Amino acid sequence: MTQGHGRTRERAERDTPSGERPGLVGVLGGMGPAATVDFYRKLVEETAATADQEHVPVVIWGDPRVPDRSLSLLGGGEDPTPHLRRGIQALRRAGCEVLAVPCNTAHAFVPALADEAGIELVSIIEVTADALAADGVRAAGLLATSGTLRSGLYAGALRRRGVTALEPGEAGQRQVMAAIAAVKAGHAGPEHGRALEDVARTLAARGAERIVAACTEIVLSLDGSGLPVPLVDPARLLAGRIAALARRRAG
């Protein structure tokens, strides 16, 4: 079961500090291209608009040439920092005041780069951790890249809010990475969705009250309808937070 759009909007509205007023929103995308398209679709869906002019103004930087973030974090790949810096600075020069990054793993690199460029990052990690804590969740299972897990991005954010992060075992993590790779390669099949569901069920059996699709490609292969606990989509939560910020500015 996935979270409803209306509930997501209400939570984003509630969790948004009243003083925040975003202008043009920059989306650092291309990681991967399908995930970027998915995020923008969700931003449109999360925006309570009755005409084109009421939607969130965005600039999307979609550079798929950014080196693999997970491989870099695991010590076996090129540092993506120069590529990420180039994209963030381009968005800032375009007049963007707020930055959204649909790629979860990239958040191991982008906070410092956003500060450097003078653009406000709305973190997909923090937004998701806020939502879980607001729902009173005590334990959440993570479906993420190995790099995201190694970095401790979610584990740390959840721990600060009193939520325990549960990660797949070694065999389960291999299944997760295989599914992510299949989505990126454009040939994800039903078998990948079933594999992710199996891993998610194992996490739920260990006590996870929510399963977090902590890689944007996960929801492109797993819809969550067959899970015993709700599937949380960080990309939709981020879209809801951005839409809420934009509504407050318009108001």
Band the pLDDT of 4: cuts 50, 70, 90: very low
- Give the active site residue among 25, 58, 91, 103: 103
What's 212's domain CATH number?
3.40.50.1860
Question: Residue 28 sits in which domain range?
Answer: 5-123+236-250
13 and 105 fall within a common domain = yes
119 and 240 fall within a common domain = yes
Band the pLDDT of 9: cuts 50, 70, 90: very low
Q: How far apart, in whole angstroms, are the C-alpha atoms of residue 215 and residue 239?
A: 15
9 and 36 fall within a common domain = yes
9 and 119 fall within a common domain = yes
What is the structure's pLDDT at 247? 78
Q: How far apart, in whole angstroms, are the C-alpha atoms of residue 178 and residue 66?
A: 20
50 and 158 fall within a common domain = no
Asked whether the predicted pLDDT for residue 251 surpasses 80, the reply is no
114 and 87 fall within a common domain = yes
56 and 133 fall within a common domain = no
116 and 141 fall within a common domain = no
Looking at the structure of the chain, the number of domains it has is: 2
Q: Is 103 a catalytic residue?
A: yes
> What would the pLDDT profile of 157-180 be if each residue is shown by its tens digit?
999 999 999 999 999 999 999 999
Residue 97's SS3 state is coil
163 and 91 fall within a common domain = no
Helix spans in the chain (H): 5-15, 33-46, 69-73, 81-93, 110-117, 124-134, 146-151, 153-159, 170-185, 190-205, 234-250
Torsion of CA 99, 97, 12, 156, to 10 degrees: 40
70 and 89 fall within a common domain = yes
Which pTM does this prediction carry? 0.88
149 and 182 fall within a common domain = yes
- Give the active site residue among 56, 100, 215, 246: 215
Q: Is 96 a catalytic residue?
A: no
> What would the pLDDT profile of 105-162 be if each residue is shown by its tens digit?
999 999 999 999 999 999 999 999 999 999 999 999 999 999 999 999 999 999 999 9
**Inter-residue contact 41 to 117 (CB < 8 Å):** no
71 and 147 fall within a common domain = no
